[in-house]
C-alpha cells in the first residue's frame, strides 16, 4: 500500500499541475496578448517553458533504493478485461468534449466579441474549477469506496454543459457553466484513474495507465480534428452538440461494460 499510495499521491499532484497550467496559461496569455500583442504572448510562453525545464533538470531525482522485479505484462493480459476497456472508453469520450471546448470556444468567443483577456478568464475559471475539484473528488471516492458512478456522472454532466455552451449569454452565466464543466471533468478524471488502477493487477497497472493517457490525448485529438468540419459547415451549436453526444455515448458504453464486467472499487488491490 505504501508504494501504491505514494504513486497515487504523485499522480494527483501531476494532474493538479497539469490542469492548473491549463487554467492559468490562457488567462495570462490573454492578458499579455491584449496588452502587448500575440507575439509577446507566445514569447512569454516559450520563456515560461524554458524556466520550467531548467528547474526540472536542476531538481534532484529520487528513485527507490531497490526496485522489486516484476513480470512484464502484455496487451493480451488485459484485452478481455471489460473494466479496463470501460475506463479507456469513458476517458476518450470525456476528453473528446474537452477537445471541442478547448479548441473551438476561443473561436466562438472571438466571433461573439470577447476580448483575449475575457477568453483567458473563461479558461482560468475552467482550469481552476477542474483543479480544485480533484481533491474533494479523491476524498469522496475513497470515502464511498466507489469510483464508477462519479466517472460516468461527471462525463454525462460535462457533455450537457458542452452542448449548452454555444447557447448561453452573459458573462456570469458563461463563467458559471464553464466552472461546472471544469469541476465535473476533474471529478470524472480522478474517478476514472482510480477505477482503472483497481481493475488490474500491479504488474499490468503501468500498461493500463499508459492506455489511459493514450485515451485522454486521443480524445483531445478527435474532438479537435473530427468536429472542425462539423462546425465549419453546420455551425458551433451543432459541433458542440456532436461532441456532447460522443461524450454521452462513451459514458453509456462504459456503464454497460462496468455492469457486465464488474465495477471496480477504490479499495480493491
pLDDT in tens, the chain (269 residues): 343 343 444 555 666 666 667 667 777 777 788 788 888 888 888 887 788 778 777 777 665 444 444 556 777 778 889 999 999 999 999 999 999 999 999 999 999 999 888 898 999 899 889 988 888 888 888 888 888 999 999 999 999 999 999 999 889 999 999 999 999 999 999 899 888 888 888 888 888 888 998 999 999 999 999 999 999 999 999 999 999 999 999 999 999 999 987 666 554 44
Is 269 domain-assigned? no
Distance CA 220, CA 96 (A): 5
pLDDT for the residue numbered 122:
92
Condensed to tens digits (0 to 9), the pLDDT of residues 156-168 reads 999 999 999 999 9
pLDDT for the residue numbered 29:
76
For the CA atoms of 105, 210, 60, 6, the dihedral, rounded to the nearest 10 degrees, stands at 100
pLDDT for the residue numbered 269:
42
Q: List 265's β-bridge partners, or say none.
A: 146
Q: List 146's β-bridge partners, or say none.
A: 265
Is 267 domain-assigned? no
Distance CA 165, CA 177 (A): 7
Is 71 domain-assigned? no
- Domain of residue 205 covers 13-55+80-261
To the question of pTM greater than 0.95 for the whole model, the response is no
Sort 68 into a burial class: Cβ within 10 Å, 0-12 / 13-18 / 19+. Answer: exposed
134 within 8 A of 15, measured Cβ to Cβ? yes
Distance CA 119, CA 31 (A): 10
Report the number of distinct structural domains present in the chain. Answer: 1
CATH at 150: 1.20.1250.20
Is 179 domain-assigned? yes
Measured on CA atoms in the order 22, 26, 27, 32, is the torsion positive or negative? positive
Distance CA 90, CA 69 (A): 32
Amino acid at each position: 500500500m505504501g508504494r501504491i499510495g505514494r504513486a497515487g499521491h504523485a499522480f494527483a499532484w501531476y494532474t493538479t499541475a497539469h490542469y492548473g497550467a491549463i487554467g492559468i496559461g490562457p488567462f495570462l496569455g490573454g492578458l499579455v496578448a491584449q496588452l502587448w500583442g500575440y507575439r509577446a504572448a507566445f514569447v512569454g510562453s516559450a520563456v515560461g517553458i524554458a524556466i520550467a525545464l531548467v528547474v526540472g533538470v536542476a531538481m534532484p531525482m529520487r528513485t527507490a533504493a531497490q526496485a522489486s522485479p516484476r513480470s512484464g505484462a502484455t496487451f493480451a493480459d488485459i484485452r478481455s478485461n471489460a473494466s479496463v476497456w470501460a475506463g479507456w472508453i469513458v476517458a476518450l469520450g470525456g476528453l473528446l468534449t474537452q477537445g471541442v471546448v478547448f479548441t473551438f470556444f476561443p473561436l466562438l468567443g472571438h466571433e461573439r466579441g470577447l476580448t483575449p483577456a475575457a477568453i483567458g478568464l473563461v479558461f482560468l475559471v475552467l482550469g481552476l474549477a477542474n483543479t480544485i475539484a480533484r481533491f474533494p473528488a479523491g476524498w469522496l471516492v475513497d470515502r464511498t469506496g466507489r469510483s464508477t458512478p462519479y466517472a460516468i456522472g461527471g462525463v454525462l454532466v460535462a457533455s450537457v454543459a458542452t452542448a449548452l455552451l454555444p447557447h448561453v449569454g452573459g458573462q456570469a452565466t458563461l463563467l458559471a457553466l464553464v466552472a461546472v464543466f471544469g469541476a465535473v471533468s476533474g471529478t470524472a478524471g480522478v474517478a476514472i484513474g482510480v477505477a482503472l488502477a483497481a481493475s488490474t493487477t500491479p504488474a499490468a497497472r503501468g500498461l493500463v495507465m499508459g492506455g489511459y493517457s493514450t485515451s485522454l490525448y486521443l480524445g483531445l485529438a478527435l474532438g479537435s480534428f473530427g468536429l472542425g468540419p462539423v462546425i465549419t459547415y453546420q455551425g458551433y451549436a451543432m459541433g458542440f452538440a456532436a461532441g456532447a453526444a460522443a461524450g454521452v455515448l462513451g459514458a453509456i458504453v462504459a456503464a454497460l461494460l462496468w455492469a457486465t464486467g464488474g465495477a471496480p472499487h477504490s479499495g480493491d488491490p
